[in-house]
Amino acid sequence: MNIIPYDNLYRYQKKAIDFVAQKRGKALIYITPGGGKTLITIHLILKYPALKPVLICCPSSLKLQWQYELQKYFPDDKISLINANSNLSSSFHNADFVIINYDILKRWQIELCKYKFNLVVCDESHKVKNPSAERTKALNVITDRIQHRLLLTGTPITNDVGDLYNQLHLINPDTFNSYSKFLKRYTTPKTITIQRGLFKTKKQIPGDPCNVDELNNIILNHFFRVSEKEVFENIAEMQNIVVPIEVDNLNDYRTAERIFMNSKMNTREEKFNAEQNLAKARKELGIAKINSAAEWIREHLENSNQEKLVIFAYHRDVLEALAYELGVDKSVIFYGGMSTTEKDDAVKRFINDKNIKFFLGNSLSAGTGVDGLNKVTSTAIMVEALYSHAEWEQAKGRVRRKNSTFDAYFCYNLIVPNTLDEKIIKVLDRKAKETNEVLTGKQMSKDELLSELIMKG
Give the domain CATH number at 403.
3.40.50.300
The SS3 call for residue 206 is coil
Write down the pTM of the prediction.
0.75
Q: Do 148 and 287 sit in the same domain of this protein? A: no
CATH classification of the domain holding 193: 3.40.50.10810
Question: Which of 231, 261, 291 corresponds to the end of one domain?
Answer: 231
Q: Do 193 and 210 sit in the same domain of this protein? A: yes
Q: Do 125 and 176 sit in the same domain of this protein? A: yes
Main-chain phi, psi angles of 180, to 5 degrees: -65, -40
Main-chain phi, psi angles of 195, to 5 degrees: -95, 120
Q: Do 91 and 159 sit in the same domain of this protein? A: yes
Q: Do 197 and 269 sit in the same domain of this protein? A: no
Query: Cβ of 220: how many Cβ atoms within 10 Å?
Result: 13
Q: Do 214 and 191 sit in the same domain of this protein? A: yes
Q: How many domains does the chain have?
A: 2
In sequence order, the β-bridge partners of residue 258 are none
Main-chain phi, psi angles of 59, to 5 degrees: -60, 155
Alpha carbon 140 to chain centroid distance? 20
DSSP-derived letter for residue 227 is -
List, as own/partner pairs, every contact residues 271-275 make where C-beta atoms lie below 8 angstroms and the sequence separation is at least 24, other chains included.
Answer: 271/192
- Residue 1 belongs to a domain: no
- pLDDT by residue for the chain (457 residues), tens digit each? 578 999 999 999 999 999 999 999 999 999 988 889 999 999 999 999 999 999 999 988 788 889 989 999 999 999 999 987 777 666 677 899 999 999 999 999 999 999 999 999 999 999 999 888 999 999 999 999 999 999 999 888 887 888 899 999 999 999 999 998 998 898 887 777 666 666 677 777 777 888 888 988 999 999 999 888 888 888 888 888 888 899 989 999 999 999 988 888 777 788 888 888 889 999 999 999 999 999 999 999 988 888 999 999 999 999 999 999 999 999 999 998 888 889 989 999 999 999 999 999 999 888 877 889 999 999 999 999 887 777 888 899 999 988 888 989 999 999 998 898 888 877 777 666 666 666 665 544 433 432 333 233 3
Q: Do 288 and 206 sit in the same domain of this protein? A: no
Q: Do 212 and 349 sit in the same domain of this protein? A: no
Domain that includes residue 330, residue range: 238-453
Nearest to 363 by CA among 344, 383, 341: 383
Q: Do 78 and 60 sit in the same domain of this protein? A: yes
Q: Do 368 and 406 sit in the same domain of this protein? A: yes
Q: Do 294 and 207 sit in the same domain of this protein? A: no
384 vs 400: CA distance, rounded Å: 20
Burial class (CB in 10 A: 0-12, 13-18, 19+), 211: middle
Tell me how many helices (H) and strands (E) the chain has. Answer: 16, 15
373 vs 358: CA distance, rounded Å: 11
In sequence order, the β-bridge partners of residue 361 are 312, 334
Does residue 208 contact residue 237 with C-beta atoms inside 8 Å? Answer: no
Q: Do 27 and 168 sit in the same domain of this protein? A: yes
Nearest to 124 by CA among 428, 412, 397: 397
DSSP letters spanning 132-156 = TSHHHHHHHHHHTT-SEEEEEES-S
